[in-house]
Amino acid sequence: MDFRALVIILMSAVLVNNYVLRQFLGICPFLGVSKELKNATGMSVAVIFVMLLATAVTWPIQAYLLNPNGMGYLQTIVFILVIAALVQLVEITLKKYIPALYTALGVYLPLITTNCAVLGVTIANINKGYTFIEALVNALGSGLGFMLAMVIFSGVRSHTEASDPPPSFKGLPITLISAAILSLAFFGFNGVIENLFG
């Protein structure tokens, strides 16, 4: 097990290939739930949790069920169904056994079914040919990157909410333009992997 390779996968998923700011996945929750730090963190934790779980389930399905039987084309259907069922299952389990966690994450869970970042990370793991461990690390990194973007952006938004943009820019437009500046800032991480580990 090459620990260095895993660190590289993790770091590039968090900083360089940030899902929200560089790859445009999970934009809906990024814009919709980033108004308050509390909601942003709750949503992010739920996303990290579901991403890890979905990868842990979908990777073996693809490797041991779909690929050996020549049914790789069923990937999209199977993955989205697995994720939808998984989210329901997690919700029911949390409600029954860990009510404290359910109150914290419960409202965010149903939204995650149609979050493209979750389906995106499971498909990307297969496309990139990661091993099971690498896939899990990539899922964790993508989730952490989502969280980083959400938390930073909720801070930015608390300021844009208080500002007074031109009337046409109120609401979503000014939020998108702030997101552009944050995305620009993340370009600073280009080359960080090569220089740290190269």
Task: Check if the beta carbon of residue 144 is closer than 8 Å to that of residue 14.
Answer: yes
- 80 binding another protein? (CB under 8 A): yes
Task: Identify the residue among 97, 159, 172, 195 touching another protein (CB under 8 A).
Answer: 172
- 28 binding another protein? (CB under 8 A): yes
Q: What residues have CB less than 8 Å from 6, skipping those under 6 apart?
A: 133, 134, 137
- DSSP-derived letter for residue 26 is S
Scanning 5-13, 58-66, 141-149, 178-186 for contacts with another protein by CB under 8 A, the matching segment is: 178-186
Task: Please state, in angstroms and rounded to a whole number, the distance separating the CA atoms of residues 131 and 116.
Answer: 22
Task: Identify the residue among 61, 84, 104, 148 touching another protein (CB under 8 A).
Answer: 84
Task: Please state, in angstroms and rounded to a whole number, the distance separating the CA atoms of residues 59 and 63.
Answer: 6
- For residue 28, which of 127, 137, 150 has the smallest C-alpha distance? 150
Task: Identify the residue among 41, 131, 160, 183 touching another protein (CB under 8 A).
Answer: 183
Task: Identify the residue among 13, 14, 16, 33 touching another protein (CB under 8 A).
Answer: 33
Scanning 93-101, 137-145, 147-155, 168-176 for contacts with another protein by CB under 8 A, the matching segment is: 168-176
- 37 binding another protein? (CB under 8 A): no
CA-angle at 180, arms to 177 and 185, nearest 5°: 135
Nearest residue (CB) to another protein, 52 versus 149 = 149
Cα 124 to the chain's mean position, in Å? 12
- 74 binding another protein? (CB under 8 A): yes
Q: What residues have CB less than 8 Å from 26, skipping those under 6 apart?
A: 19, 20, 47, 115, 116, 117, 118, 120, 146
- 174 binding another protein? (CB under 8 A): yes
Interface of this chain with another protein, residues 38 to 57, rule: CB under 8 A: 39
- 175 binding another protein? (CB under 8 A): yes
CA-angle at 38, arms to 32 and 41, nearest 5°: 75
Q: Which residues bind another protein (CB under 8 A)?
A: 21-28, 31-33, 35-36, 39, 73-77, 80-81, 84, 106-108, 110-111, 113-116, 119-120, 123-124, 127, 166-177, 179-181, 183-184, 186-187
